[in-house]
Structure 1
Amino acid sequence: MTQIRTPVALTIAGSDSGGGAGIQADLKAFSALGVYGTSVITALTAQNTCEVRAIHDVPATFIADQLNTVLDDIQVDAIKIGMLSRPETIFTVAAILRERGLTNIVLDPVMVAKSGDKLLTDESVAALRAELLPLATLITPNLPEASVLLTANEAESADEMQHQAQQLLALGPQAVLVKGGHLANSASDDSADLLLTATAAHWLPAKRIATANTHGTGCTLSSAIAAGLAKGLDVQTAVEQAKTYITAAIAAADRLQVGSGHGPTHHFHAWW
């Protein structure tokens, strides 16, 4: 009997000890979508649904050890990259990706906290822009992250959002998904994202869901896209299916009773 090879995705990101974001969210999304998950941990955090109490960065040499060890044995079909906080980490990851000729790379450029504070130094942002954007199949910034990458004001309209997506595409990725949740205002319950490639622009509308439990949505969306790419989907189809998945996970989030703060989405909403 011929065996069908298991699709494999790799997440390169930080650990969230509260389980809602980072490596933990990525692995849950991979599993929920029928993809085997592997991981390279770039930082350890002490956090729960209320706070991040401490962060411990993993040395770049050990990140390289993790990445090379996984790739030496396991055929990885897609990669999701989350927050890489230091230039040396970015240079290390980018060098290995180039050396290995890896494809299907989804970059979630986590650079701005929910408070609006920048999470990366200017040096790290410059390294991310120069080293990783040209390697990416798709980048998935929200509007504050897009503005940091472009050193520009945050987009305040759909036209400005599309203009910034075009500017980001010019930096080297094959496609850009700009998440428009920050564009919505009190007069609108829509939350549309824009997928831009070299040949087309696709708006992905969705209704805003009233819940406070949205911790890890960006991580989950990007890892869900990577799962789709690992299964052989094209970028647009992978993005559309991932958008459907994360929307349902947010809609089911209030079924979870986890912690007393900003809770997680429900990665396994279809099963329990």
Structure 2
Amino acid sequence: MVANVLTIAGTDPSGGAGVQADLKAFSANGAYGMSVITALVAQTTTGVAEVHEVPPEFVTAQLVTLLDDVRVDAVKIGMLANAGVIRAVIEVLDRYRPPHVVLDPVMVAKSGDRLLAPEAVSVLRDELLPRVDLITPNLPEAADLLGEQEVTDPADMPAQAERLARLGAKQVLLKGGHLDGESSVDLLYGDGVSELLTSERVVTTNDHGTGCTLSAAIAALRPQRPGWLEAVREAKEYLTEALRASERLDVGHGHGPVHHFHRWW
């Protein structure tokens, strides 16, 4: 049976990030995609112009209406904007208990624009994080969550991942894309596993929405694979190919999107 996978996130009219990217990644990895909108974001490949936050009660209405009708096999959570929306999502997660929940702690856009209110970080860390199965922070996001300096050496990633796990997440995928080197090194930590996952570093400016795409691909694959390690490995391979094929697209004047459908186009 085809997995039904839900994204809870903000929008991106350029299609490279947010809900639009998540739905593409779901489809490209064999899942049926669904979405609940948390914020309407006026953004392109060059930056964010404006954010219209969806009222928490309407986020709840979207979620409850959907989950009362449709079996949900996995959830990917992206931009949540503020504390009220975070708590609305928590309430629904507690009520419906979806089997696999992936949290991409979206705090700052590629352009540097903030997408999560600073006062909401503690709510995400203390109340939402213990309720998810996998969190996928990059190194700046991990430092923000922990209130410490950003890691600059891969050797320090296991200790930081352990500190994130102590906050309550069952699994941590600490993404090392901000480090230098010919390879991109991520660390999957949890359930007694601490494994470095190395992939080719694709040199391109078309990296808009890479975090959204990776976390969405993991959520799509997890119901189809025996464990998180298998899902993460396959999602990383998918993203690497999507980055490599991104030069075939011509979208915008800034950081262009990855090629979600590189296998078919």
> Which interval holds the TM-score relative to the shorter structure?
over 0.9
Residue in structure 1 matched with residue 128 of structure 2 by the alignment? 132
Q: How far did residue 117 of structure 1 move?
A: 6.1
State the alpha-carbon separation in 1 of the partners of residues 145 and 199 from structure 2.
25
Residue in structure 2 matched with residue 211 of structure 1 by the alignment? 204
TM-score, normalising length: structure 2: 0.97
Q: How far did residue 112 of structure 1 move?
A: 2.9
After TM superposition, the structure 1 = structure 2 runs for residues 119-268 of structure 1, keeping only pairs within 5 Å, are 119-184=115-180, 188-268=181-261
Secondary structure of the structure 1 residue equivalent to 2:229: helix
Amino acid at match of 1:261: G
After superposition, the C-alpha distances for 1:131-151 in whole angstroms (9 at most, x for unaligned) are: 211111100000000000000
State the alpha-carbon separation in 2 of the partners of residues 117 and 147 from structure 1.
17
State the alpha-carbon separation in 2 of the partners of residues 52 and 113 from structure 1.
8
After superposition, the C-alpha distances for 1:121-164 in whole angstroms (9 at most, x for unaligned) are: 34200000112111111000000000000000001112221111
Contact 2:48 2:111 in 1 (8 A): no
After superposition, the C-alpha distances for 1:64-104 in whole angstroms (9 at most, x for unaligned) are: 01001110111000000001110000011011101112220
After superposition, the C-alpha distances for 1:179-237 in whole angstroms (9 at most, x for unaligned) are: 001122xxx21110000013011111012111100100000000000001132441110
State the alpha-carbon separation in 2 of the partners of residues 227 and 133 from structure 1.
20
Q: Any gaps of 5 or more consecutive residues in structure 2?
A: none
Residue in structure 2 matched with residue 23 of structure 1 by the alignment? 19
Secondary structure of the structure 2 residue equivalent to 1:43: strand
State the alpha-carbon separation in 1 of the partners of residues 78 and 194 from structure 2.
24
State the alpha-carbon separation in 1 of the partners of residues 263 and 211 from structure 2.
19
After superposition, the C-alpha distances for 1:224-257 in whole angstroms (9 at most, x for unaligned) are: 0000113244111000000000000000000111
State the alpha-carbon separation in 2 of the partners of residues 47 and 101 from structure 1.
32
TM-score, normalising length: structure 1: 0.94
Structure 1 residues 63 and 154: alpha-carbon distance in aligned structure 2, compared to 1, 3 A threshold: same
State the alpha-carbon separation in 1 of the partners of residues 137 and 156 from structure 2.
14
Residue in structure 2 matched with residue 85 of structure 1 by the alignment? 81
1:12 matched to 2:5? The reply is no
State the alpha-carbon separation in 1 of the partners of residues 114 and 149 from structure 2.
14
State the alpha-carbon separation in 2 of the partners of residues 28 and 151 from structure 1.
33
State the alpha-carbon separation in 2 of the partners of residues 27 and 235 from structure 1.
20
Which deviates more, 98-107 or 13-22?
98-107
Contact 1:18 1:48 in 2 (8 A): yes
